[in-house]
Amino acid sequence: MSKGNQGLGTWPRRRARISPDAEALTQGSRRLTYRQLADRVDRWASALQDLGITRGDRVAWLGANDIATFEAFFATGLLGAIFVPLNTRLAAVELRYLLDDCGASILITGAGVDHVVPELGEHVPVSSIELSTSLAEEPDVHLDEPALILYTSGTTGKPKGAVLTHGNLTWNTFNQLVHFDLTESERALCIAPLFHAVGLGQITLPTLLKGGRVEVVTKFDAGTILRLIDDESITSFSCVPTMLQLMTEHPAWAEADLSSLRHVIYGGSTINESVAKEWLNRGVRILQGYGMTEASPGVYMAIHDGAAEHRTSMGVPHFFTDVAHRAEDGQAIGIEYGGPGRELLIRGPHVFAGYWSHPRDDDGWFRTGDVVRTGADGWSYVVDRVKDVIISGGENISPAEVEAVLVDFDGVRSAAVVAAPDDRWGEVGVAFVELHPGVTVDVPALRRHLEANLARFKLPRDIHLVDELPRNATGKVLRARLRDELNREAP
């Protein structure tokens, strides 16, 4: 026996990084290998072609997360058409606006939308899509061609469709993989809805590129997620902070086995420090990511080395992302380390070219609308939204700063501070406070807590206790709705 053969019986055997027979997508008892997924996507593309879909057509999808969502998405891209996943929580009139705005050639409907489908007119139920022959010929599709239209949450005005190219999605995936390691052994959960950039961009597409497995979750339920982490030895998932909080509040939290988790990414808003501590105390270092639909979505992300010491930081910029601050004259200037914070500007190959029917018209830097400060150590924090900053008597008030003090009071689950007109000061802050279930809070004591921790001009004029803050499907508080409520109450 030659020397080279002597070790064959003892060398560890590793399977290929991407194996055709490895599981790609699972959903309960349903299992699809990469080989099967490729075949089904090919036949989906043929079926869409038979329905008249060609390059550039918009294929709208309305339904809960499903393996079929991925099949339709990949098949649409294979044809050079554009996939448009729609928010399942919207009313029929809102959905009709989006369908008209993008000029959808077809609407495919999945599960969980029976209540609204009758009001939408012509549609194709996913169950009626017949997969037969494979696609005869694949058209050439280039990186600069549109792949996806994701509509922004529309907290003010009408929603706008951010057009993401194949290149945007590819570079975002590269950014994620440079930032943290994913391997073929990854077992990820797709929790966030696929009509949101987080659902695809932060964990799901990077995992599939590396040959790992993605378990598709139809609807978020804290108990179900905790059980899946244990039963499926889940290694990673991405979500919004509200989901992390709901898991810590679930009765199964204390006994849940979280030992398999390697990467837990959250984004969409900052997290309460008490929730971050809960996960850290369980041995899980959650990493905050910062981004937006227009960036596919990643811009910043925390790193494992230092995350425990920077629990509420969004971390550092992604590798293939340029960041700058916006000066008073509107020009881009370098990031000010240790400064108070300015509006963040971004650019990079993952940043979109414009909204549907409204191409970008700028100097190459995209205005995020977020005020971001960066510490001397390089870790960054979202201070506030430019439009949400309250200017009271000439002083700038950061709602996020006031909200952080509010949620530090026992019994307060979440809080939102918005501007209200004021005859003397121009505008003042008004706080909406969501309490933990079954908890009562002494409002005068809460006010004393605020007075002890904030300058007088930052104190909210009024405090409203509410059962639940209005949120969109991704967990963001709908501040515009709160402002509208105040306007209705005004004399």
Tens-digit pLDDT profile for residues 432-484: 999 999 999 999 999 999 998 887 888 999 999 999 999 876 677 888 889 88
pTM reported for the whole predicted model? 0.82
CA distances to 12, 88, 291, 372 from 369, rounded to whole Å, are 51, 26, 12, 9
Rounded CA separation 209/231 (Å) = 24
Rounded CA separation 374/379 (Å) = 6
Residues of the chain with pLDDT > 90, as a percent, come to 67
Quickly state the pLDDT bin for 1 (edges 50, 70, 90). very low
Rg of the chain on CA atoms, in Å: 24
Regarding whether 427 and 305 lie in a shared domain, the answer is no
Quickly state the pLDDT bin for 267 (edges 50, 70, 90). confident
Rounded CA separation 400/353 (Å) = 30
Regarding whether 345 and 222 lie in a shared domain, the answer is yes
Regarding whether 272 and 165 lie in a shared domain, the answer is yes
171 touches 296 (CB < 8 A): yes
Q: Give the DSSP letter of residue 360.
A: -
pLDDT at 9 over 60: no
Regarding whether 62 and 29 lie in a shared domain, the answer is yes
373 touches 339 (CB < 8 A): yes
Q: Which domain holds residue 291?
A: 23-383
Rounded CA separation 125/148 (Å) = 20
pLDDT of residue 362: 80
Half-sphere exposure (CA, 13 Å, Cβ side) for 186?
Answer: 31
Last residue of a domain, one of 325, 350, 383: 383
Rounded CA separation 26/147 (Å) = 24
Contacts of 351 (CB under 8 A, 6+ apart): 168, 294, 295, 296, 366
Tokens, residue 13 = 């055997």
pLDDT of residue 471: 87
Q: Dihedral sign, CA of 443, 448, 453, 457?
A: positive
pLDDT of residue 154: 47
Q: Does any domain span residue 142? A: yes
Q: Does any domain span residue 11? A: no
pLDDT of residue 5: 36
Regarding whether 236 and 318 lie in a shared domain, the answer is yes
Half-sphere exposure (CA, 13 Å, Cβ side) for 19?
Answer: 11
Q: Averaged over 369-377, what is the pLDDT?
A: 93
Query: Which CATH number fits the domain that encloses residue 367?
Result: 3.40.50.12780
Quickly state the pLDDT bin for 2 (edges 50, 70, 90). very low
Quickly state the pLDDT bin for 4 (edges 50, 70, 90). very low
Q: Averaged over 177-194, what is the pLDDT?
A: 93
Query: Which CATH number fits the domain that encloses residue 467?
Result: 3.30.300.30
pLDDT of residue 153: 60
Give the number of other Cβ atoms within 10 Å of residue 242's Cβ: 22
417 touches 460 (CB < 8 A): yes
User: Among 116, 111, 108, 109, which residue's Cα sits nearest to residue 92?
Assistant: 116
Beta pairing, strands 298-301 & 286-291: antiparallel
384-417 pLDDT, tens digit each: 777 787 878 766 687 888 898 999 999 999 999 9
User: Among 432, 417, 440, 441, which residue's Cα sits nearest to residue 468?
Assistant: 432
Regarding whether 176 and 291 lie in a shared domain, the answer is yes
pLDDT at 199 over 90: no
Rounded CA separation 429/452 (Å) = 17
Regarding whether 317 and 437 lie in a shared domain, the answer is no
CA distances to 64, 138, 193 from 69, rounded to whole Å, are 8, 20, 11
Averaged pLDDT of the chain? 89
Tokens, residue 440 = 């009562």
Residues of the chain with pLDDT > 70, as a percent, come to 94
Beta pairing, strands 395-397 & 390-392: antiparallel
pLDDT of residue 217: 97
Last residue of a domain, one of 363, 383, 403: 383
119-172 pLDDT, tens digit each: 999 999 999 999 989 898 889 999 999 999 999 864 445 788 999 999 999 999
Q: How many domains does the chain have?
A: 2
Q: Does any domain span residue 4? A: no
